[in-house]
Amino acid sequence: MIEPLITVGAAWDLLTAEIEPLPVENLPLAEAGGRCLAEAVLSDRDLPPAPRSAMDGFAARAVDLAAAPVELQVTGEVAAGADAVLDVAPGTCVRIFTGANLPAGSDCVVPVELTSSESFRVRPDDSNVVIRTALEPGANVVPKAQLVAANQEVLAVGTRLGPRQIAVAASVGVETVTVHRLPSVYVLNTGRELRDSGSGIGRHETRDSNGPLIEAALAELGIDDFRRVIVTDELDLMRSELRAAVAVSEVVLLTGGVSAGRYDFVPDTIAELGGRTVFHQVCLKPGKPQLFARMPDGSSVFGLPGNPLSVVVGLYEFVLPAMRRLAGEPWSQCRPGLRLPLAEAVEHRGGRRLMMTACLETRDEGTVVVPRPVAGSADVIGGGAVDGAFLIEPGRGIVPAGEIVTFRPWGAFLP
């Protein structure tokens, strides 16, 4: 039985009600890149832990500089990494370098350029220095705890650990983080006509591009527990392959065989194995057959149509957001959409939400969405030449140039 046609919004609501983040594990920080935090990271101390110099120069007392130019005695130096043991008494100063703790008694740093030293390279060891300008207390000093106070949250639950977030964790002394596991994924590319690129190919056959597409998209999310096989359109084989895939993986992705054709065995096979179909037909073009089911053991099965662009649409509308949620990201972050002006008018009168392929172009007036139609849902070549697609609601008619549309980037990186 084919389930009713539902809107993308309704399918999204069903999906978000079903999928929860996977269990957590502790990982060394160095191995946690790309994972999402299941516990917040707190700062282990004030940052900086003491007032620090923001410049190379002289740590001094602002009151001594009021009558600048003034000459001060240089009593020593403190570099980054040396704890400040010197005191700055009236009429004296201490040579200081960026990142060093401020010595007791001092309250400002005079940059070397504002002194008779001009450059530490030229006159590194002067015993006296003339300060040419008066400064306020606190000038060129990073106050204690300016960045963050001890025990304050620096990374929230759900944060994906990219390079900058790894730096945050490292700067507050974190060795291991608590993150969600990534899903294990099994891909079954169905179709008797499919061949992979290593084998010879006949004129009646088609190269499998969906398998490599999905593998690369999941690799961008860091998913490495991944298997894929091509399955011919035979009911017995489909049954045994799906059973095996569900047994070893948390998510099974099927492409092809999901519609109502004679060789479309996917829906019945899911039902035979006890799966509960959550949705099957979505009001979307391309990509109307979009099947999502839960199996008795809790694994999720997505059935995508076979045509390469329909697969891309299904991936970015449903599958990849679900993967990101399993990995612990908040739903609000899982399906990015950019709101940008349309460069030229387009028309859509059909009864399904259209995902119109487009490129982003950055012009003087800003970034715009430029429609780039492809030759239908089988156009794998055209799909490689666009940046993504924007949404046009059913029966919309003419969408004028300049209207702000929702653009779905099809990939991690944008121009």
CB of 346 or CB of 355, closer to ligand AMP: 355
Per rule CB under 5 A, is residue 257 in the interface with Mg ion? yes
Could you tell me which of 83, 90, 94 has the C-alpha nearest to residue 49?
Answer: 83
Residue 308 binding partner per list Mg ion, ligand AMP, none, with a CB distance cut-off of 5 to 8 Å that depends on partner kind: ligand AMP
Residue 218 and residue 27: Cα distance in Å, rounded? 20
CB of 172 or CB of 304, closer to Mg ion: 304
CB of 141 or CB of 291, closer to ligand AMP: 291
Residue 271 and residue 366: Cα distance in Å, rounded? 50
Residue 305 CB, nearest approach to Mg ion (Å): 9
Residue 101 binding partner per list ligand AMP, Mg ion, none, with a CB distance cut-off of 5 to 8 Å that depends on partner kind: none
Long-range contacts of 216-222 (CB under 8 A, 24+ apart): 217/315, 217/320, 218/185, 218/323, 220/411, 220/412, 221/34, 221/182, 221/320, 221/323, 221/324, 221/327, 222/33, 222/34, 222/35, 222/182, 222/327
Task: Give residue number: closest CB to ligand AMP.
Answer: 306
Considering only 256, 275, 286, 289, the residue that binds Mg ion (CB under 5 A) is 256
Residue 343 CB, nearest approach to ligand AMP (Å): 31
Catalog residues that contact ligand AMP under the rule CB under 6 A.
Answer: 189, 191, 193-194, 206, 208-211, 255-257, 259, 261, 305-308
Residue 207 CB, nearest approach to ligand AMP (Å): 7
Residue 176 CB, nearest approach to ligand AMP (Å): 40
- The label of the residue with tokens 């387009």 reads 346
Other C-beta atoms closer than 10 Å to the C-beta of 392 total: 25
Residue 390 CB, nearest approach to ligand AMP (Å): 24
Per rule CB under 5 A, is residue 191 in the interface with Mg ion? yes
Residue 305 binding partner per list ligand AMP, Mg ion, none, with a CB distance cut-off of 5 to 8 Å that depends on partner kind: ligand AMP
Residue 189 CB, nearest approach to ligand AMP (Å): 4
Per rule CB under 5 A, is residue 308 in the interface with Mg ion? no
Cα 277 to chain centroid, rounded = 30
Q: Coil, strand, or helix at residue 138?
A: coil
Size of the site for Mg ion (CB under 5 A): 4
CB of 306 or CB of 383, closer to Mg ion: 306
CB of 249 or CB of 259, closer to ligand AMP: 259
Other C-beta atoms closer than 10 Å to the C-beta of 400 total: 9
Q: Coil, strand, or helix at residue 368?
A: strand
Residue 25 binding partner per list ligand AMP, Mg ion, none, with a CB distance cut-off of 5 to 8 Å that depends on partner kind: none
Q: Give residue 199's region: left, alpha or beta (phi > 0; psi -120 to 50).
A: beta
73-88 as b/e: b if 16+ CB within 10 A: ebbebbeeeeebebeb
For Mg ion, the binding residues (CB under 5 A) are 191, 256-257, 306
